Amino acid sequence: TPVILWVRQDLRLRDQPALVAAAHEASVIPVYILDDDAPGTWRIGAAQRWYLHQALDAFAASLKDKGSRLILRQGDGVTVLKALMKDTGATRIHAIRHYEPWWRKAEEALGDALCLHDGNYLAPVEDITTGAGTQYKVYSSFWKALAEQMPPGDPLPVPHTIPAPEQWPASDTLADWKLLPTQPDWSTGFDIWDAGEDAAHRAVDRFARIADDYDGDRNLPSIEGTARLSPHLHFGEISPRDIWRTIDGRGQGVQTFRKELAWRDFTAGVIVELPDYADANGRPRFDQLRWRSSKSDLTAWQQGRTGYPIVDAGMRQLWTTGWIHNRVRMIVASFLVKHLLIDWREGEKWFWDCLVDADYGNNSVNWQWVAGTGVDSNMFSRIMAPLSQSERFDAAGYIRAFVPELRDVPDAAIHDPEEAGCKPNAYPAKIIGHREARERALAAVKNV
Ligand code: FAD
């Protein structure tokens, strides 16, 4: 009898322990289920649906090369899997473990039929705990504990063959799912992304050549100094253990990169301990903070029309390409939460819908970290100054690339054209002054 390979955010053949175990055991039925109910508000967002379409297409092609197929089904994951077992006579499901709360619930509901494998993180969550057996709340201690268990073992090779069942169950077609935007098609700028396992490895190879410079370059949004691996990692087109082994060396750049890569593992630990971290303040006293509700300010932020060039460039990069540079993510997030005093959850939701790399753990933990509402030690009162950040990290080229109204503004004025007395056509005035915003935020948090 065949076994089912349940793929989720692990669309790869290399270093895929669930696939290796399944192929070793019997004929394999690989299935991907689009489940828009179980995650509730955290169902896959619009930008990510675009990416998912390309990712599934690429993954189906690589299975086909191996004489296998990808079965597509839609509906409640547990119900679909149980029905598929009945129809095909399969008695076992192999899958890689995931930590999002809805996946954990589904994994539990499948009980003994499900055989879980670790493979999407540098280490399983339960292997990196404090002396008391809890998850770390402070990143530096987490990193120390994780680093002791590195390097990871060799990645598993792609199985030579993936035995096919005598009969294939029915499958939806990818086009049926209508994952791509139509009216209007906002995805033209997304063509910077190449989905799939081969593309993920090409991205690692590109980055390997510049990894030594990562320590300094990662903060400069005007250049491509980071790995651009986040959607590949989210969908598991490459394993982080594989990346760790490939990006090798003793230089500071490589060390800093590995430390960033390990943040994914840290956020997984946080959502295991606090599954509703995307919806609830890590520090409950922040429930008392009186956020402003201003639809027009929120819209100005979303559309990149705040009058702060670095913020506007970031928000427009997000809209046109589905991704933002990490330094700029911090700046725009801090701006929404502190300058506009709008609840971090509004920004988190917008990111969720617009990012090709939207990830339950990474998004919520980083938003709460910037907001200062989280379990880790960052403070609400740490307010980023967007204009000096823009200057310090040399964002002129970046601003010109994403804010066409400012294309002809000279370097000296581009970070703060208003202050420089330069009023480019159609570019809005600042939505609020920096000092005023800072005072308002500090006053609001005083009552908490
Ligand atoms: P690199 O710098 O090359 O890092 C390599 C990989 O390490 C990344 O692909 C990512 O998987 C991991 N990584 C790096 N930094 C972080 C971090 N701070 N937290 C967690 N993982 C990290 N990342 C997401 O993958 N999904 C999200 O939804 C997400 N939301 C964010 C929201 C905010 C407000 C902020 C400040 C950051 C968020 N990040 C998120 C983290 C980070 O910005 C991106 O992972 C990074 O910009 C991706 O680009 P890269 O692959 O070139 O990164």
Q: What is the pLDDT of residues 315-367, one digit of tens each?
A: 999 999 999 999 999 999 999 999 999 999 999 999 999 999 999 999 999 99
Which ipTM score applies to this complex?
A: 0.99
Q: Whose CA is nearest to atom 34 of ligand 1?
A: 367
Point out the catalytic residue in the list 6, 344, 350, 352: 344
Q: Is 427's pLDDT higher than 90?
A: yes
- 227 marked ligand binding residue: yes
Query: Catalytic site residue 103?
Result: no
Q: Is the peptide bond before 184 cis (omega within 30 degrees of 0)?
A: yes
Render pLDDT for 9-43 as a digit per residue (tens, 0 to 9): 999 999 999 999 999 999 999 999 999 999 999 99
171 appears as a binding residue in the annotation:
no
Q: What is the mean pLDDT of residues 217-231?
A: 98
Q: How many CB atoms lie within 10 A of CB 222?
A: 16
Q: Is the pLDDT of residue 207 over 80?
A: yes
pLDDT, residue 292, reads 97
Q: Which of 126, 260, 419, 436 is catalytic?
A: 260
Q: How far apart are CA 37 and CA 357, in angstroms?
A: 20
Instruction: Check whether 357 is labelled as a binding-site residue.
Output: yes
Q: By the 8 A CB rule, do 275 and 292 touch?
A: no
Residue 377 predicted with pLDDT over 90: no
In order of their start, the domains of the chain are 1-120 (3.40.50.620), 121-151+196-273 (1.25.40.80), 284-446 (1.10.579.10)
CA-based nearest residue to 402, from 299, 324, 298, 334: 324
Q: Which long-range CB contacts under 8 A does 200-207 form with residues at least 24 apart?
A: 200/12, 200/229, 200/232, 200/237, 200/238, 201/238, 203/227, 203/228, 203/229, 203/232, 204/229, 204/238, 204/242, 204/243, 204/246, 204/247, 205/246, 207/247
The protein residue with its alpha carbon nearest to ligand 1, atom 17, reads 263
pLDDT value, residue 371: 97
- Ligand 1 atom closest to 228 (CA): 52
Res. 445: pLDDT tops 90:
yes
Q: What is the pLDDT of residue 410?
A: 93
The model's confidence at residue 71, banded by pLDDT at 50, 70 and 90, is very high
The residue whose two tokens read 């320590």 is: 215
The finding on whether 351 has its CB within 6 A of some atom of ligand 1 is yes
Task: Please report which residue ranges of 111-251 form alpha helices under DSSP H.
Answer: 139-148, 197-210, 214-217, 230-234, 240-246
| 19 annotated ligand binder | no
Catalytic entry in 25, 177, 224, 291? 291
**Is 308 annotated as contributing to ligand binding?**
no
What confidence category does residue 447 fall into, taking pLDDT thresholds of 50, 70 and 90? Answer: confident
CB atoms within 10 A of CB 14: 18
Average of per-residue pLDDT values in the chain: 97
Atom of ligand 1 nearest to the CA of 358: 28
pLDDT of residue 423: 84
Q: What percent of the chain has pLDDT over 70?
A: 100
Interatomic CA distance for residues 358 and 352, integer angstroms? 5
User: Biggest alpha carbon distance in the chain?
Assistant: 75
261 in Cβ contact with 122 (< 8 Å): yes
Contact 303, 352 (CB under 8 A): no
- Decide whether any atom of ligand 1 lies within 6 Å of the 117 Cβ: no
**Residue to probe by mutation, ligand 1, list 217, 318, 326, 336, most atoms within 8 Å of CB:** 326
Verify whether residue 326 is a known catalytic residue: yes
CA 445, chain centre distance (Å): 29
**Quick one: pLDDT at residue 280?**
98
Per the annotation, the verdict on 301 as an active-site residue is no
DSSP conformational letter for 338: I
Instruction: State how far the Cα of 406 lies from the Cα of 426, in Å rounded to an integer.
Output: 10
Active site residue 166: no
